[in-house]
Structure 1
């Protein structure tokens, strides 16, 4: 593997796995895959092209047992969460492009492809908790988590929860232009009730937001209180998928601390800065702990991704 993990590298890996061609020009296999994701805020004009996850990563990891949680009658149900409207500044002023705004764009279609494959895989294995992380900071984990959550929320009758677990640098509230109701640490430690902290932005998408940084993020994420709070949240709201926007894997031990609570991980790579050795180190950290569901290549070069008529 070359130091710079480019779009050509990932596209070449696709050829080892049977694929089918979609009408939108996307390639996708019948297994968890890598995906190439364009950030329209960059100068490049790449497209999102799913590819495959390395087979040895998948075979080394046994599927998690299906999880089932009995609802707690003392906790709020999904329909009882307060619904708030996202602000308007996210469309023009935020540093995070929201591809959800134009449903006919290639980026939206590609996130929809990723959404559908993720739903199929999680339903097949009974998985709920999916972490989204990066090797180093600034690779686009929040951009990916937010747009994947929006894509999932367009499935009628579904329930998706997006949690801001980048505790040192929270960003989901800013991206949605919503004022958080409190700190994530207080919520995870059991100091803030679920109904007071969690909000919905639609009938199918709920958010766990954060208004302050946590200098002891790793300690918070591996605490028994955090595991208990998230179990109670899932029991109350009964979501299909919970997406966790996590910090970079190689910067702190925050992600490693939370791995026991995850069913799978999506790793976001930046085509302009992520090195192959960094991806390999992340795979090593995940090995025999949590399945790597795919690598999302963000900010890929426009001329490195094939286009289809």
Structure 2
């Protein structure tokens, strides 16, 4: 008796196979999928390999599909309007992002594994690059499967809404002023588990607003809803906003820029943070 022949079936855009994902993303059409299936049957190769041999997709397309299958989504250049500096989204396998993942691992061991859920990312000077670093760090935490919230607590010159192509709206300042609630938190749909709470309306009294008792209650609420909450704050050189946020988060990651930030300044900021009752979890130098 002859053994039954295994015939590849047409992928559906609703399934999670390589063919299904390629159909859903518009990389191939149902008509071209039939051509792929014929080659797949004739040569006994995988669907993705057949599609690539036919010139319908590239190796980059295959890597992106595999990332989605393993819940590790990332974007291709031009696919979204996010900042090009969001390397964790566009170049997740680059050396820079490998270093970010190393930082993430250290933070998981030193801080989040201890049951802590919030961390403030603090820079000394305005040009040290902490905001973009915090954005990329939030992305790699979400890629790990952690339900991650990035909070723009820079109530002087917020920037995270532009990084993630979000319209300015109600955010942290409005919640602290009693004019909004946590409904202001926005999911970033391009990622599995990443949300953003923007800065909101720019207040005339950012330091006083961040020092309100309402911030402690809000932080507790955000921690209850997320595995990791990262706060980006105004540079320490512009005021003591960072101390107020650090006191709520409990922990701080200091960010400096190589050949730019003075070690003495980092030590000074670290000492003031410790005096505020927060813990300096670590420090990173951005080579930029």
Smaller-chain TM-score range?
0.5 to 0.7
Deviation track 1:130-175 (CA, whole Å, cap 9, x = no partner) reads 000111111011111000000000013x211110001101111001
Which residue pairs with 1:154 in the alignment? 143
1:211 Cα offset (Å)? 4.2
Question: In the aligned structure 2, how far is the partner of 1:209 from the partner of 1:114?
Answer: 24
Does 1:88 find its partner at 2:80? yes
Aligned length: 208
Tell me the equivalent position of 2:209. Answer: 220
Pairwise CA RMSD of aligned residues?
Answer: 2.1
Is residue 294 of structure 1 aligned with residue 251 of structure 2?
A: no
TM-score for the superposition, normalised by structure 2: 0.67
Cα distance, 1:230–1:126 mapped onto 2, change above 3 Å: same
1:129 aligns with 2:121: no
Q: Which of 101, 104, 126 is 1:115 aligned to?
A: 104
Q: Secondary structure at the match of 1:179?
A: coil
Report the equivalent of 1:186: 174
Q: Which residue of 2 aligns with 1:139?
A: 128
Distance 1:145 1:231, change over 3 A: same
Query: Which structure has more RCO (C-alpha within 8 Å, separation ≥ 6)?
Result: 1
Could you report, residue by residue, the CA deviation over 1:215-249 in whole angstroms, capped at 9, with x for unpaired residues? 311001110122222223333x1x11110001112
How far off is 1:122 after superposition? 2.5
Query: Deviation string for 1:187-228 (max 9, x for gaps)?
Result: 222321212x01111331111013442231100111012222
User: How far does residue 87 in structure 1 lie from its aligned partner after superposition?
Assistant: 8.3
What runs of 5+ residues in structure 2 fail to find an aligned partner?
1-77
Query: CA separation in 1, counterparts of 2:80 and 2:176?
Result: 29
Conserved in 2, the CA contact under 8 Å of 1:170 and 1:212? Answer: no
Unmatched segments (≥5 aa) in structure 1: 1-85, 301-309
